[in-house]
Chains A and B, each alone.
Chain A
Amino acid sequence: MSGLGRLEGAFGGVEHVEVAAADGMPCVEVERDDLIALMTLLRDELGFEACTIVTAVDHFPREPRFQVVHQLLSLRHNDRVRVHCRVSEDDARVPSVTGLWPGAAYFEREAYDMFGLRFDGHADLKRLLMPEGYGHHPLRKDFPHQGIEPDRLYKEWDRARRHAAGSQG
């Protein structure tokens, strides 16, 4: 497993734990409070201009449950880095990186939509893929594949329309 390579000692005191990754990409795990400090350092000093992925992984039986994954790309040095951050379910809050990369806004909205992770500091955090009034977070491991009453919103809309039509008739 190749280590951090060029990022070896460059983390300036942000305590981190190196994680082995099958694809040999430098991978670091950090506490939630140091996330923004590390991200700013990565972007400004170490030249990671683009944010490729912001997503989460649900390790359901194991605590802390959610693992937020940020993956950055440096066009100048042509290399990537991945940052993990473990968060438990009852306090699923992560600082948002939209301040550093505006492009990460939709990724964070999708992570909120699919896992229920709240991103502090996100301008307009609402559901991205599921309809607004949807009550569940589908990608959680304890959510059934066929969903819980998938047609509830359609039925409400359908009934409201018929009610309006009926009262007019």
Chain B
Amino acid sequence: MGSLKPVEASATDGGFFATRADALVNWGRKNSLWPMPLGLSCCGIELMAMLGPKFDLARFGAEAARFTPRQCDLLIVAGTLTWKMAEACRTIYDQMPDPKWVIAMGVCSSSGGMYDSYAVVQGVDMLMPVDVYVPGCPPRPDAVIDAIIKLQRKIERERPVKSLLAEPVRDDVWDEGHGGFLRQPNMGVSTHRSGEYVAADEGEEA
């Protein structure tokens, strides 16, 4: 296996080899999204209903719900995330191998929902970058399936080959420099724009 130099494809023209390889890798990834069902509260029951016979998630290749983050690539945060659970949720997100995506199922994980109380995280995107937000309390299973379809379309547009053969990244401190808080509580608009993450309190560290 000679040393395949990653093709220096610029953002616009992908070059024939890169775009075809992108399409192949993306096709493989989007049709086998293994969900990590973080069923916290009522959305967890709708999540189970979605894996059940009527709204069968197997049609999208995503029914292999694993409970260990090592074998999952899609974290579905289903329910109300509290500050006590936030540490466990962030640890599970970190322990998932790359590439990984996050769906914030329900209004509680998207924005704190009906709980503006002392114990509820005001939106999971304060802890980790979220790819698809699903409104509803709980959202109907077909709404979450629609979110998975949107995620698959988002995966189709990614360009993985550019960084596939790259050297392993040793970012022990934090992956890609984001973390801390992506969005201040009750700020409404998320400062998280896909691509550049703004680490809220990066500056304070020693």
Q: Do A and B contact each other directly (Cβ–Cβ < 8 Å)? A: yes
- Residues of A near any B CB (own CB < 8 A): 130-131, 136, 138, 143-148, 150-151, 153-155, 157-159, 162-163, 165-166, 168-169
Q: A146-B118, A159-B205 are in contact. Are A130 and B84 (CB under 8 A)?
A: yes
Other than the known A146-B116, A159-B205, A168-B172, what 6 A-B pairs have Cβ atoms closer than 8 Å?
Answer: A138-B118, A148-B118, A151-B86, A154-B83, A154-B86, A154-B87
Give bound CA distance, A146 to B185, whole Å: 11
Known contacts A143-B118, A146-B117, A169-B170: A158-B83 contact under CB 8 Å:
no
B205 touching A162, Cβ below 8 Å: yes
Across-interface contacts of A145 in B (CB, < 8 A): 116-118
Please, which residues of chain A bring their CB within 8 A of the CB of B118? Answer: 136, 138, 143-148, 150
* Majority DSSP secondary structure for residues of A touching B: loop
Closest Cβ of chain B to A157, distance in Å, is 5
Are the C-beta atoms of B174 and A162 separated by less than 8 Å?
yes
A-contacting residues of B (Cβ < 8 Å)?
83-84, 86-87, 90, 116-121, 126, 170, 172-174, 179-181, 185, 201, 205-206
- Are B174 and A147 touching (Cβ within 8 A)? no
Q: Is the CB of A165 within 8 A of B117?
A: no
Chain B residues, CB < 8 A from A166 = 172-173, 205
A153 — nearest CB in chain B belongs to which residue?
B83
A144 to B87, CA, bound (A): 24
User: Across the two chains, which residue of chain B brings its CB closest to A166?
Assistant: B173
For A150, the chain B residues whose CB sits under 8 A away are: 83, 118-120, 185
| Chain A neighbourhood of B174, CB < 8 A | 162, 165
B83 contacts A151, CB within 8 Å? Answer: yes
What are the 4 closest A-B residue pairs judged by CB atoms, nearest first? Answer: A147-B118, A169-B172, A131-B84, A154-B86
Which residue of chain B lies nearest to A143 when distances are taken between CB atoms in the complex?
B118
When chains A and B are docked, how far (Å) is the Cα of A103 from the Cα of B179? 42
Which of A138, A144, A162, A168 is in CB contact (< 8 Å) with B119? A138
B-side contacts of A155, CB under 8 Å: 180, 201
Residues of chain B contacted by A169 (CB below 8 angstroms): 170, 172-173
Closest residue of chain B to A169, judged by CB?
A: B172
B179 lies within 8 A of A162 (CB) = yes
Chain A contacts for B83, CB-based, 8 A: 131, 150-151, 153-154
- Interface residue from A136, A151, A165 paired with B172 (Cβ < 8 Å): A165
Interface contact A147-B117, CB-CB below 8 Å: yes
- Please tell me which one of the listed residues B87, B172, B181, B206 contacts residue A157 in the complex, with CB atoms under 8 A apart: B87
**What is the bound-complex CA distance between A138 and B115, given in angstroms?**
15
A159–B84 Cα distance when bound, in Å, is: 16
A-B contact pairs, 26 of them (CB 8 A): A130-B119, A131-B84, A138-B119, A143-B118, A145-B116, A146-B116, A146-B117, A146-B118, A147-B117, A147-B118, A148-B118, A150-B119, A151-B86, A151-B121, A151-B181, A151-B185, A155-B201, A158-B90, A158-B180, A162-B173, A163-B205, A165-B172, A165-B174, A166-B173, A166-B205, A169-B173
